[in-house]
Amino acid sequence: MRSFLPLLFSLSLASAPLWAAEGNETLFNFVKPMAVVSVGLQDADLPNHTAETAAGGEILRRVKFHPAARPTLTLKPASGSWDWSQADSLSLRVQNAMDWALTLEVEIDNADGTPGLHASIALPAGPAQTLLVPLQATAPQLFGMRAGVPMPFTLDGQRLLIAPVVTGELKRSQVGAVKLYLDTPKAAQEILVGRFGTRAGGDELHKAYSGIVDAYGQSTRSEWPEKVKSVEQLANAWKAEGEQLKKWQAQNEQRDTFGGLLEGPNFDATGFFRSEKRNGRWWLVTPDGHAYWSLGVNTVNNESSQTYIEGREYMFDGLPREGDPLAAFYGSSDDRDGVGAQQGRAFGHGRWYDFYAANRYRATGGLSGQPFADAWFERTLARLDAWGFNSLGNWSQPAFAGASRIPYSLPLAISGDYATVSTGYDWWGAMPDPFDPRFAMAAERAIAIATRDHREDPWLLGYYADNELAWAGQGSDARNHYALAFGALALSTDSPAKRAFIKQLKDKYHDHQALEQAWGIDMAAWEDLDVPGFQAPQPNAAHPAIEQDYSAFLRLYADQYFRTLRDSLSWHDPNHLLLGGRFSVTTPEMLASCAHYCDLLSFNLYAPTPQQGYDANYVRSLDKPVLISEFHFGSRDRGPFWGGVSEVYNEQQRGERYQQFLSAAVKDPQIVGAHWFQYLDQPTSGRLLDGENGHIGLVGITDLPFASFVDAVRKGNQQAAKVLQEQARAAAKAPPKAPSKPIDPDATASRDDTPAAQ
């Protein structure tokens, strides 16, 4: 249903000038309508003929959105267009009439019919506020962070809700319409509205970000139990925690030297970590020959919590002045690498401050002569042990590797001037071209460096085959699945990957006419494929060979990549495991290849359970141990503004979801470990690398643990340990098998001739 109602009422706001002193213009008032605006309704209505008194005594008009694809309220000038060239933002007095939050969509259209600006507004339940939509594109990244300040907020006694993300471009001198709508509500939803207009000169967005971080690096916009208000509170909490950790550590069950289960099957002790399947269940095996399930934490370090301050000093209250002892924690960096994760972000270089280091200094009173790093090192190890963790995940402090105190893992971070192929995802950069000889040289160099001091270390679990590479595009359609194939064929023949793909096609079809027929395309010669920007055909049912050939290339590509790493690692360090690729996007082809050349499959998963994060049935068919190399659950009720990749409502739900995820992981006979991401909360104002600012840690920026969450984590780890112990006892009854490490995949099959996974 659609209606358009020009409201021809007499002007009843004579006492309110069109331009107020502060630069606000009222164009329309739903309570006292004027003839200057027409109201359109599509699958929506104004159910009452008059306004009503809302909470707080404010007079507002009710709007009802009915269940439909896009119920919409449209505001247009009665004639012509609006000239907003002197305005900074759209203004609307609005209140959510429901008892739950709504997502209100706002579109501001150009008068010529072209799209203008769009914003999605999280409209909370509660009292009315003034909604401001900036009249130019904006996002938290422009303030240097992944997620912006919480809304609404109070400024000069007014409750303001500023749209955090606005996309598009508006011709401000010719504005055609403003549309408010909901996206496919399943039931009728209502809001209350009042004055509609524009604002100018208030700079509310800048003010929204002013003074958002206190002297301890905490958000000033919220309160929570562990929030620090004084140095004395911080120091006392540090001391009290030390006593609690001793009590918890005394309650821990005995394990072998490396954290393995003493009750369980007798595995061969090889002196290094390896994997073995027993009684239908995969295990990691400690160097001493005991069953081991890796329960770890990523990024356990004290060097990743700096945040850029240069150019946005107005965001920070209480930064130390030069000469203050805490000024020792200033530094400078440059994180403008140009990768996808950094696109659109401002304040990615310059001077930074390390609130985490400053707070550790405060907590220990300068340490009274004790080495600064040692105090953190010992406290961190005590925490992990007391909380039930037995290993370190990726990107942890190098000092742990030489301590012989806890098992750890290392990344193979390969970089160089080799060719790349774009899949369009490219979050951390384009995909390395493994057919380029320079990639093999770069891999050899990186592996030689990574293994140099670790090849004889029994505490090392193994090495990751890089991290979250762009194996595919995002999404399940064919173009994303076969993005490497499309990307390679679009390159020039300078690309080693493209040459490898064309060779594969020539080896199969021999003459171009056969390919032309199989793919259903016009080809005058093989050289047609050489053209840069070649438009590869989409897979289709009429030509199944297209998908078969793309799949074969994906397998060829993955085999070349993983074999290169496996061969180099086998030469430089035959003692340790190759732990897979820490996958965030996958295809069956690359998983099959990884399973063939690596000792484990590793996934960075952000889902309620591990099995919901990947194709569990397909992975199970590969019969390879699985390590969950990243997972987390975050919220926005402990300071940082972002809730992480897997966001939940509050701190209590974080603990519940952790226990749910871990319970599902330990019950899966293929999974041999899970690593939480990460040890520390990210800085409220964004980390150096890409501005991420999530509450995803076990420990806050003040170096105080989040008590309720850590308690839930500890209990979840204890319950997981009981389940694993029962599984280990059952595995002890099964006959032993030959160890799965070391292996030589190519000794039993040549992967160059293996059909691609379907």
Residue type, 28: F
Collapse the DSSP code of 477 into the 3-class scheme (helix H, G, I; strand E, B; otherwise coil) and give the result.
coil
431 is written with which tokens?
Answer: 């995909």
* Segment 669-724, tens digit of pLDDT: 999 999 999 999 999 999 999 999 999 999 999 999 999 999 999 999 999 999 99
Q: Residue 34: what pLDDT?
A: 60
Question: Which residues of the chain are under the pLDDT cut of 50?
Answer: 1-22, 368-369, 741-743, 745, 747-758
Domains of the chain from N-terminus onward: 2-208 (2.60.120.430)
Residue type, 655: G
* Segment 84-105, tens digit of pLDDT: 999 999 999 999 999 999 999 9
Q: What DSSP designation does 683 have? A: P
Q: How many CB atoms lie within 10 A of CB 571?
A: 12
Alpha helices in 520-650 (DSSP H): 544-572, 588-597, 616-621
The residues with which 603 forms a beta bridge, in sequence order, are 583, 628
Q: How far apart are CA 41 and CA 37, in angstroms?
A: 13
Q: What DSSP designation does 439 have? A: H
Let me know: does 321 contact 313? Beta carbons within 8 Å: no
Chain-centroid distance of CA 471 in Å reads: 17
Let me know: does 523 contact 535? Beta carbons within 8 Å: no
The residues with which 158 forms a beta bridge, in sequence order, are 155
Q: How far apart are CA 286 and CA 269, in angstroms?
A: 7
Strand-strand pairing, 281-285 and 153-155 = unpaired
140-155 CB burial, b ≥16 within 10 A, e <16:
bbbbbbbbbbbbbbee
Q: Residue 29: what pLDDT?
A: 75
357 is written with which tokens?
Answer: 């280091």
Burial environment of residue 748 by CB neighbours within 10 A (0 to 12, 13 to 18, 19 or more): exposed
263-276 CB burial, b ≥16 within 10 A, e <16:
ebbebeebebbbbb
Q: Residue 6: what pLDDT?
A: 39
Q: How far apart are CA 651 and CA 706, in angstroms?
A: 9
For 431: left if phi > 0, alpha if psi spans -120 to 50, otherwise beta; the answer is beta
Alpha helices in 667-703 (DSSP H): none
Q: Residue 35: what pLDDT?
A: 63
| Distance between first and last Cα of the chain | 47
Q: CB neighbours of 577 closer than 8 A, spacing ≥ 6?
A: 273, 274, 275, 461, 462, 463, 599, 600, 741
Tell me the torsion sign for CA atoms 448, 451, 452, 455: negative
Q: Residue 428: what pLDDT?
A: 87
Asked if the peptide bond before residue 124 counts as cis, ω within 30 degrees of 0, the response is: no
Q: Taking Cα atoms as reference points, which of 698, 675, 697, 659 lies closest to residue 602?
A: 675
Burial environment of residue 743 by CB neighbours within 10 A (0 to 12, 13 to 18, 19 or more): middle
580-613 CB burial, b ≥16 within 10 A, e <16:
bbbbbbbbbbbbbbbbbbbbbbbbbbbbbbbbeb
Write out the H or E segment, with its range, that includes residue 523: none
Phi, psi of 138 (to 5 degrees): -150, 160
Our CA angle for 663, 304, 708, nearest 5°, is 40
529 is written with which tokens?
Answer: 């494929």
429-455 CB burial, b ≥16 within 10 A, e <16:
bbbbbbbbeebbebbbebbeebbeebe
Q: Residue 414: what pLDDT?
A: 94
Q: Taking Cα atoms as reference points, which of 685, 660, 466, 689 lies closest to residue 561?
A: 466
Let me know: does 551 contact 482? Beta carbons within 8 Å: yes
Q: CB neighbours of 170 closer than 8 A, spacing ≥ 6?
A: 84, 108, 110, 116, 117, 135, 136
Alpha helices in 576-706 (DSSP H): 588-597, 616-621, 651-666
Q: CB neighbours of 21 closer than 8 A, spacing ≥ 6?
A: none
In this structure, the chain runs to a length of: 758
Chain position carrying tokens 């240097």: 144
Q: How far apart are CA 659 and CA 631, in angstroms?
A: 12
Q: Residue 45: what pLDDT?
A: 95
Alpha-carbon Rg of the chain, whole angstroms?
A: 30
Q: How far apart are CA 314 and CA 307, in angstroms?
A: 14
